[in-house]
Structure 1
């Protein structure tokens, strides 16, 4: 079977912490999760064809990324890759989700102009078809080996990037702790080494980092059960008391009810405000001061580790690098 668009990608379910070594005893891979747009890339079956770029929802958007189309000559025919679209802001010197959104909405001349200012990169994390032969039934470990061989054999360079992967739980824990300080990296993906690629199925686990801080809630708008805005003050060692007002997404909206462990934030009380990096520091949840961040592992990882399959692709044209 030859894969063609529209194609439904495999999905991930959200989790709040890294599973323990016992849960992952059968073997796993951890990949860095970038804050971009999911995309499926199709190269032509033969000469004269063109590269196609499909979104998660099935829309074709290759006309909005002419820089990727121009670089398609590096890729062999009959190839299908699953990955993440990201954009590098040359002025800011970092990945930019806002610039990616602008590029995704651009057409014609605007798309070409934006490509020069904010170049796009395709971070590949799965190989679904090679030489016209689909690989969905192959285990993840085999598909990953073929993907790494594709990059080395064809000496692929920017804008094609190999997603960093490790089978070392300690390394995955380190990524979640430190790499998420980098703009554009929001967490990790956990994938069983033996898993097949199942379109539409949530067989992977995604873990996003969320930072917490002590805050004093002074007032809210909306109701206590469904607050809309928090007026809060946070005390820091260097800046003293910092005041802010930010939209608040109630736990009831995410889970259908307020968990008993997360009481409503009454005005004038202390608690922890959890801010998502992708939302630019916007408060998205609140927990009492006795709680610890839900996403953080409860203990250091234990057990044997295996050598990580590492990749270091440097984007010479933009100065960005992932290791």
Structure 2
């Protein structure tokens, strides 16, 4: 059987640790970029929606070198670690949109690691219908140094919290792999509240930020995919930026400017009075403390652009099916 290509990653729902925990295993939720690696007379790499990431992350070819001469498809995460050994999405931002990191001098400055966690095809056999437990046992036999999967125990989640990690993903031991589907067979349990948002506008900066982006007006789509009930305003993001990030955002947003707001809900006058409106095409990620009763993000902090995400899919996680 031919190696399947491209494969859209299977997705998890947000939630708590399952009550029937013995039926699940836990994996650390790495703060990185989901990638699929295809080994078949060379190595190809794709992200969500089949975007070609091969040239962006040459480290993946080295990580899967033990499979040379074999045919395989691996699901995993690209992660950048800080000097303390913690995953850093901020560092990873420096690599995400660089097609030639070697030419840009970034391979030694911002190295990334590939952390495989699922095996989807091996030597002519596609494994989508094989239970997760069996796929993991096969993966662990390949010598790829895959991070371990752990017993479903609240102590594991607490350990990730103590180490400053994002959380865990609980996966049913008997679950098949369903490309492109979001299923409650996999449940992501987060220590940190994060959300994907779509930029609908920006407000100009003041002082040393004058003339450029000072803050962002962000939204999500309501209702079932694809964006059934409009583009809803969810917050105003004014922190988490460096000057370099603001300059980059200006270059991305300036060509998207339009004459009126794309939000289907009204914004507070004090927020919208000097706004520059843009087509809702740029996806980013924020950290936040909680949702307000009005459906706003409380204290959102910008984490970075998500070029691997599709704007119309960005919805509050409790709405996802």
TM-score by length of 1: 0.57
For 2:2, the equivalent position in structure 1 comes to 2
For 1:174, the equivalent position in structure 2 comes to 155
Backbone CA RMSD of aligned residues: 3.3
Unaligned runs of 5+ in 1: 212-245, 258-277, 288-323
- 2: distance between equivalents of 1:206 and 1:123? 17
Picking from 199, 208, 218, the partner of 2:179 is 199
Residue 155 of structure 2 corresponds to residue 162 of structure 1: no
- 1: distance between equivalents of 2:55 and 2:220? 39
- CA-CA distance at 1:191 after TM superposition: 1.3
- CA-CA distance at 1:250 after TM superposition: 9.4
Does structure 2 retain, via aligned residues, the 8 Å contact 1:37–1:84?
yes
- CA-CA distance at 1:252 after TM superposition: 11
- CA displacement 1:252-290 (0-9 Å, x = unmatched): 979989xxxxxxxxxxxxxxxxxxxx845x444248xxx
Picking from 24, 31, 38, the partner of 1:28 is 24
- 2: distance between equivalents of 1:175 and 1:7? 30
Unaligned runs of 5+ in 2: 194-214, 233-284, 294-321
Give the secondary-structure state (helix, strand or coil) at the position aligned to 2:50. Answer: coil
Q: How does 1:1-323 map to 2 (within 5 A)?
A: 1-15=1-15, 17-21=16-20, 24=21, 27-44=23-40, 49-76=41-68, 77-90=70-83, 93-108=85-100, 110=102, 113-151=105-143, 156=144, 161-167=145-151, 169-170=152-153, 173-183=154-164, 185-203=165-183, 204-210=186-192, 279=286, 282-286=288-292
Does structure 2 retain, via aligned residues, the 8 Å contact 1:64–1:111?
no
Worse overlay, 129-138 or 61-70: 61-70
- 2: distance between equivalents of 1:64 and 1:117? 14
- Rg (Cα) greater in structure: 1
- 1: distance between equivalents of 2:156 and 2:217? 28
- 2: distance between equivalents of 1:109 and 1:94? 22
- CA displacement 1:48-93 (0-9 Å, x = unmatched): x321111022111110122333454322420111111101234x65
Tell me the number of residue pairs that the alignment of Structure 1 and Structure 2 aligns: 214
- 2: distance between equivalents of 1:131 and 1:206? 30
- CA-CA distance at 1:28 after TM superposition: 1.4
- CA displacement 1:229-263 (0-9 Å, x = unmatched): xxxxxxxxxxxxxxxxx999899979989xxxxxx
- CA displacement 1:88-128 (0-9 Å, x = unmatched): 234x6532212212212113255662111222111111111
Give the secondary-structure state (helix, strand or coil) at the position aligned to 1:63. Answer: coil
Does structure 2 retain, via aligned residues, the 8 Å contact 1:80–1:130?
yes
Does structure 2 retain, via aligned residues, the 8 Å contact 1:61–1:104?
no
TM-score by length of 2: 0.57
